[in-house]
Structure 1
């Protein structure tokens, strides 16, 4: 997806959600990891609605990050669809993520478990969450 219109749509969603809505510094939002990450884009009636990316941290262990759904498209199940979609594309299927604390319940409903203390990232409280690989 690098350099494509779809990737640019992913970046635009992240800028709208994290920078414009949440006040994350723009310089922190896009980074060198975007070049090698797996990106997913959710469309709603053909419109870019949400995005997420995953980075393989070790064989079979993926870090999901930059999960974002634009405000007009929230409460339609897009976040859940994004998570399910990205999880199916990651071989090995063990996952970790840094969840904003207000979203912990969302991730718990998807099988993630919070670990460790709360920490700040870009001025927003987060917790580490993990989900073990599924067994067939």
Structure 2
């Protein structure tokens, strides 16, 4: 396996890769309706792409208020620390921009993953697109 690297993506320029990953993970695998997957926030969000070599294998986005979302890694690369690299890159960028609190809506099965990265559950369980979720928050260490 080649080294995994993460970079900031451009919603316009990298749109095909961002859509390929999210459509595969959310729409095809998890049956999220397309009208729930794509929203107006994509245009204002910071997007991230994870690569193995020159092949995009994961993505995430950061909204201006510190919400992290649309975290997705293609099936063949799950369990290989791609998600860790993605979330660490998003947190670093959020902190660079002065966002001392990061929030996300996590699928319940992924809560332990996010807890390892410093997030805490702050809500009860609820359904989003028919999938059980909880809200999670992470506070950056004060400078």
TM-score range, shorter chain: over 0.9
Equivalent pairs counted in the alignment come to 131
Q: TM-score when scaled to structure 1?
A: 0.92
Q: 2:75 aligns with which of 71, 87, 96?
A: 71
Q: 1:3 aligns with which of 12, 15, 33?
A: 12
Which stretch of structure 1 is more off in the superposition, 21-30 or 101-110? Answer: 21-30
Query: CA separation in 2, counterparts of 1:108 and 1:8?
Result: 31
Aligned twin of 2:116: 109
CA RMSD of aligned residues (A): 1.0
SS at 1:116's partner residue? coil
Matched, 1:83 2:87: yes
Aligned twin of 1:133: 140
1:27-59 CA distance string (max 9 Å, x none): 1111111000000000012111000001122xx
Gapped regions of structure 1 (runs ≥ 5): none
Q: 2:40 aligns with which of 14, 26, 32?
A: 32
Gapped regions of structure 2 (runs ≥ 5): 1-9
**Counterpart mapping for 1:14-29 below 5 A:** 14-29=22-37
1:16-35 CA distance string (max 9 Å, x none): 00010001001111111100
SS at 1:48's partner residue? strand
SS at 2:124's partner residue? strand
Deviation at 1:2, TM superposition (A): 2.7
Q: TM-score when scaled to structure 2?
A: 0.88
Query: CA separation in 1, counterparts of 2:56 and 2:45?
Result: 19
